[in-house]
Every structure is written in structure tokens, then in C-alpha cells.
Structure 1
Amino acid sequence: MNSKIPKSIDEYIKNFPNEVQQILQTIRSTIQKEVPEATETISYAMPTFVLNGTLVHFAAYAKHIGFYALPSGNIAFQKEISKYKFGKGSIQFPLNEPIPYGLIKKIVKFRVNENLEKTKKRIQKKKSKPNHE
């Protein structure tokens, strides 16, 4: 991939070989189907989906797809991701193995619900504060 930061997910995907482009596009459409109201952007030079805050990031590398569901996404799916290399908020899906699109869908759904709950709590907190006027 070139060093210029892409301005869109389309631009990001075009920087990779065809077989990797297909994987990235499938990940993108998996997320879009799960959360059609989410906004697409580039954050940290990676494709990112946002709805009431960041949902997930994903990125292609020489030998794997990096999927970033923040620490909470990894904690919630520890058992399912244990077969992959993972860190605090990242998972590596090897390019020489089938990409677990079903797992990606489940993680995205979890992150949507988590962000909605955080938003509800923030709203409730604001409403419960006494109004000193």
C-alpha cells in the first residue's frame, strides 16, 4: 500500500491486490448489512465504521486482515477469537485461511449494542443532573 492516507474506503481498498480487495469489500458489506445506518470513514488510516462512536476498524496487511473491535469486542468474544493471533483490541485473520465473516457480524452487532447503551447512559445522566438556573 502506498504511504498516502486514503480519503475513502473505496480508495483504501483499491490499493490492494484483487483477492485482498474482494476480502476487504466482503468485510465492508458484512458490516454495512449489519449496520446500514453506520457512517464510513477513514480513521488511523484504516476503514472505520461509526455509530454513536467508533464501532470497528479493519485493515489489510501482507499476511492478514487486522480487525479492531476495541478491547470490549475482544473480551466479549475471547473464546471465538482464541484460534487467531490477537491483542488488546485487535484480531489478525490470516489471509491463507477463510475469513470468519459470521464472527465479524457478531462482533459488529455487539459493538452497536454497546455504543447504544453508552449513549443511553450519557443521555440519562444528563437528564438526571439537577438544573441550577
Structure 2
Amino acid sequence: MTAPATVEEYLAALPPEAREVLEQVRAAVLRGMPGATETIRYGMPAAMLGSRYGLHYAAWKRHAALYPVPVLDAGLEAEVAPLRSGKDAVHLRYGRPVPGDLVERVASAVAARRSDAR
């Protein structure tokens, strides 16, 4: 199987349930990172902030995921904590509503950190 060259190719290759969820995740990430561009990095979609990565998002067998999500401010971290897997991944299980507002706020917080680090 050839690796996808674009986010659209990545999404087109997914099963319907995974594609639907990841399209919602993608929209929320892009709302939280205005001006971000998209590319494929490490075989998965990534929202780029200039030449720096913002967030990667991917579809897996049972969930969609965001990477890397650093430890966030206390209030936001409390909301994200139940979705954490490992130190920097957030998993969104299929069959559950996508917390679009939360994904958007996480993306915004990550974007703010990336811009502060410049």
C-alpha cells in the first residue's frame, strides 16, 4: 500500500466511521489553529504552524488520536485527562460523540505554546 501524499488521500482510504470522526477532529484542529497548513508527517495528517508542527491526528482501529498533546493548564488538563493515553496522546473512541469544542481548545492551547516557543 502506498503512503498517502495528502490529507485528502489519507481520509479517503479510511473506513466510513473512522473517516467521519477524523473529519470532525480535523475541522476542530483547524478551527483551533487559524492559519495552519496541512501536510502528511510520519504517515499521518499534521497541522503545521509555519515550519513547525502543531498537532498530528490519525485514525486507528478503535479510535482517532491527537499527538503530541503536552500537559495543559489545570482546567483544560482536567478535561483532557480521561482521554489521555501515554504521556502525549489523546484518544477519541469511535462510537462516542467527538468533543469538537475540547479538541479545538486543545489545538488553540498547543498553538499558543508553539508560538511562545519561537
* TM-score above 0.5, yes or no: yes
Aligned to 2:110, the other structure's residue is in SS state helix
CA-CA distance at 1:85 after TM superposition: 4.3
Q: Percent identity?
A: 25
What is residue 13 of structure 2 aligned with on the other side? 15
5 Å-filtered alignment, 1:46-125, equals 46-52=44-50, 53-68=52-67, 70-72=68-70, 75-76=71-72, 77-119=76-118
- CA 1:71–1:16 in structure 2 vs 1: closer, same or farther (change >3 Å)? closer
Distance in 2 of aligned mates of 1:27 and 1:48: 12
**Higher percent of residues as strand:** 2
- Larger of the two Rg values belongs to structure: 1
Q: Which runs of at least 4 in structure 1 moved beyond 2 Å after TM superposition?
A: 31-36
CA-CA distance at 1:63 after TM superposition: 0.6
- CA 1:42–1:82 in structure 2 vs 1: closer, same or farther (change >3 Å)? same
Distance in 2 of aligned mates of 1:78 and 1:34: 16
- Give unpaired runs (5+ residues) of structure 2: none
- Give unpaired runs (5+ residues) of structure 1: 120-133
Distance in 2 of aligned mates of 1:59 and 1:114: 21
Aligned to 1:83, the other structure's residue is in SS state helix
CA-CA distance at 1:10 after TM superposition: 0.2
